[in-house]
């Protein structure tokens, strides 16, 4: 009987906390992007609501059995050989026809490591180091993923979201 009460209490506490942190179905709180709140700012950034016009196409892509999300990548930004900040990037990869997506996902940790290392080897930022250069990043990441998974294994790489944090001078 005590376990039931404890489970009920924990359930109410967690649901109340989630609602207070912006998980109550509405827009995230205005101060979620900055400040010292205890919410997960990284999750709030990537869970922003998009326009309703893009939702059906995005739902079709989410159901694609050949596509999978990479864990978030942290990419250094630089200009003239100096670190200017970091970009936190949400990437989705679509495997080419005939590829075993399950094997690709099973080796995802190797791919993630290789993508992060590539970002440190080859600068993926724009010329002034203020943001990620998405075209160059996709090109570099495609080469790296094809080294791991094999030639012609990657159909498409999408950058779903990117959050840039510049260093203060």
Residues 100-123 pLDDT 10s: 999 999 999 999 999 999 999 999
Residue 32 has pLDDT above 70, yes or no: no
Q: Which domain holds residue 149?
A: 52-166
In the structure, what pLDDT confidence band is assigned to residue 127 with cuts at 50, 70 and 90? very high
Output the pTM of the full model: 0.64
Q: Which residues, 6+ apart, have CB-to-CB distance to 86 below 8 Å?
A: 74, 75, 76, 77, 164, 165
User: CA-to-CA distance for 30 and 41, rounded, in angstroms?
Assistant: 12
28, part of any domain: no
User: CA-to-CA distance for 26 and 75, rounded, in angstroms?
Assistant: 31
Query: Based on the structure, what is the number of domains in the chain?
Result: 1
Helix (H) or strand (E) holding 93: strand 82-95
74, part of any domain: yes
Average pLDDT, the chain: 79
152, part of any domain: yes
User: CA-to-CA distance for 62 and 117, rounded, in angstroms?
Assistant: 27
């Amino acid at each position: 009987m005590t376990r039931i009460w404890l489970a009920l209490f924990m359930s109410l506490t967690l649901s109340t906390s989630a609602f207070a942190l912006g998980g109550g179905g509405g827009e995230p709180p205005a101060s979620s992007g900055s400040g010292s709140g205890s919410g997960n700012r990284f999750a709030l950034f990537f869970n922003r609501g998009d326009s309703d016009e893009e939702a059906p196409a995005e739902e079709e892509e989410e159901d694609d059995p050949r596509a999978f999300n990479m864990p978030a990548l942290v990419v250094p930004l630089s200009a003239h050989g100096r670190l200017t900040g970091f970009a936190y990037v949400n990437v989705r990869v679509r495997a080419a026809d005939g590829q075993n997506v399950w094997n690709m996902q099973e080796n995802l940790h190797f791919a993630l490591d290789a993508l992060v290392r590539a970002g440190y080897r080859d600068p993926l930022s724009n010329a002034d180091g203020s943001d990620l250069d998405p075209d160059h990043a996709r090109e570099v990441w495609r080469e790296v993923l094809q080294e791991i998974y094999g030639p012609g294994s990657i159909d498409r790489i999408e950058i779903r979201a990117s959050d840039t944090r510049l260093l203060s001078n």
